[in-house]
Structure 1
Amino acid sequence: MTTFTVTVPATTANIGPGFDCLGAALTLYNQFTFTLLPATTANPVSISVKGTESAKVSQGADNLIYTSFLQVYQKIGQNPPPIAIEIGLGVPLARGLGSSATAIIGGLLAANQCAGNPLSMGEIEALAIALEGHPDNVVPALRGNCQLSAGDSTNWAICQVFWQKNLIPVLGIPDFELATAKARAVLPEKISRQEAIFNISRLGLLLRGLETGNGDWLRIALEDKLHQPYRQSLIPGYEKVKKAAINGGAYGMVISGAGPSLLALTNPENAQKTATEMTNAWEEVGINSSAKILALDTLGAQVNC
């Protein structure tokens, strides 16, 4: 039997003003092991899960990894082979860290591998964006690094955003979940011209701030008017944790994806203090959390045979 693994990084999306278009891959991973089963196998899919949140993951045919796997075979007009999938969870679920993107990318790359790689990476990427509904997680999960995406449902322009090597991402991860659908439901249907200008200017400055590591620019550039003001109410202790991160030496703090995880950007000297301050702040409001000092993943999803 043929066995291979697909390793996919967690991602942090939006990074403040880059709503639904900017995301970065981080050094935190889900690993999926796929084993081709004999064609006579009665059950088309067998799924097992390892990790502290394994009970939350479906082991049926509705699992997102498997439904994504099927999309490749549907596109190429072939019947999928029976497959066993072992899921190794390293990315917390429903925390704004792109766990669904890891599942989509993992399933698509695995199916492409099983079928002899009939689809290009561009075709895989387009399928992933269509399945996820937006590019900001799946693109960096596939490509690695920090990526900016612009386009529509049929055509995407994607470019890598340079990330200064001494710019350290610190994640504060609380022990509660926040569904993306709930986080999107609180967003307004319309925004003002002033709010649009606010975000456009911050996003432009953010791209330069990420490239240079200029703390003065980042302190301004991480501000946002499109989603964070509305989602803060869904994250208990948000303001307290933000103040603590900045007191710890962070340039600023944003909601990672739809939340509830929070992302602070800092320098190597202040990374540990920032992490400690964020954890302590959440503890003061009665919330258990963990803090991870990470780096930018530069490889993206990897298939290992």
Structure 2
Amino acid sequence: MTVSVRVPASSANLGPGFDALGMALAMYLEIEAEVSEETSIAASGRDAHLCGRLDRNLILSTIFDLLSASGRSIPGLKLTLKNEIPLGRGCGSSAAAIVAAVLLANELGQLGWDEARLLREVSRIEGHPDNVAAALLGGVVASAMQPDGEVAAVKIAAPSVWQFLVAIPSASLSTSKARGMLPDAYSKADTIFNVQRSALLMGAFAAGRGDLLRLAMQDRMHQPYRMEACPLLKALLPMSGKNGVLGVALSGAGPSVLLVLDKETDPQTIIAEAQKLSGDPGLEVVVTAVAEGAVSQNR
């Protein structure tokens, strides 16, 4: 059996929706898997030297762990992998790997898992549902993990007239390090601040109200605490609400930054401005779009 999967990148939080909101982005992890006597990976694309490692490989370990737990076994896997998602940059690379692995295990082991079970498994492995729910379902997704591990998620379509940029700095930042920067508790005022803006943000996406994004993408729960480790955010936040930039937010745990533009704005103008403000000669700014969810097929 040969199974192929295609999983999009994702940008979590979108500002105030910490561990709750995510958006699928049109950068992809594509994998073709074939049962083999020996395990091997042929990787191409971004960070191919890391994606192609056999040791500490998240995709391989997840597949074999799930198959073993389900009473299935295979001798080995031959993976052919093409990656467009930058690793360690806040664009959901680990979430894409987890979603790809769960989909591959489901097909290879003929587990018969439905969407709800797939969502539960990817969220369990990731530890929170924001990135994995967006990567699995596509679009803009609000999700919540329940005490029993079940995940409730709802997907909405982003307005087609908005444009999206991801500014990717040259330096990476691990999610564990970024999470370690956060406080153990928040004030009542900061909690209310984020609840209000999270609600407003989903309303703005649903109604296509780009004029609300500057306010709705503000945050007090994670961005201020990560600012020092994510200097690009500090450099680009002043662009929000000006010259066609509707909103700016840290992409996931950072250090990449998501920018939302109106339909009339030339993205190349904003890219040039972002590169100038960043002071990072290695900065890459990608023009992207909201993506559909992950797909898998076998033959």
Shorter-chain-normalised TM-score: which range? over 0.9
Is residue 252 of structure 1 aligned with residue 251 of structure 2? no
Bigger CA drift: 155-164 or 2-11? Answer: 155-164
Counterpart CA distance in 1 for 2:231 and 2:281 is: 8
Counterpart CA distance in 1 for 2:152 and 2:254 is: 26
Deviation for aligned residue 1:148: 0.5
For residue 201 of structure 2, what is the aligned residue in structure 1? 206
Go from structure 1 to structure 2 and tell me whether the alpha carbon gap of 1:286 and 1:293 turns closer, same or farther (over 3 Å shift). closer
For residue 88 of structure 2, what is the aligned residue in structure 1? 94
Q: RMSD value over aligned CA atoms?
A: 1.7
Secondary structure of the 1:137 match is helix
For residue 291 of structure 2, what is the aligned residue in structure 1? 297
Is residue 74 of structure 1 aligned with residue 68 of structure 2? yes
In structure 1, the gaps of 5 or more residues are none
Q: Is the 8 A contact 1:25 1:296 kept in 2?
A: yes
Secondary structure of the 1:92 match is coil
Counterpart CA distance in 2 for 1:247 and 1:216 is: 11
Q: Deviations over 1:144-185 (max 9, x none)?
A: 111111132422211113422212221111111010011101
Name the amino acid aligned to 1:74: S
Deviation for aligned residue 1:28: 0.8
TM-score, structure 2 normalization: 0.93
Match of 1:170 among 165, 168, 173: 165
For residue 9 of structure 2, what is the aligned residue in structure 1? 10
Counterpart CA distance in 2 for 1:71 and 1:128 is: 13
Deviation for aligned residue 1:73: 1.1
For residue 229 of structure 2, what is the aligned residue in structure 1? 234
Deviation for aligned residue 1:238: 2.7
Count of aligned pairs: 296
Go from structure 1 to structure 2 and tell me whether the alpha carbon gap of 1:151 and 1:271 turns closer, same or farther (over 3 Å shift). farther
For residue 111 of structure 1, what is the aligned residue in structure 2? 105
Runs of 4 or more consecutive aligned structure 1 residues displaced over 3 Å after TM superposition: 244-248
Q: Deviations over 1:4-23 (max 9, x none)?
A: 32110000000011000100
Q: Deviations over 1:216-273 (max 9, x none)?
A: 3211100011000111111124322222465442112100000011001111221512
Bigger CA drift: 229-238 or 17-26? Answer: 229-238
Secondary structure of the 1:241 match is helix
In structure 2, the gaps of 5 or more residues are none
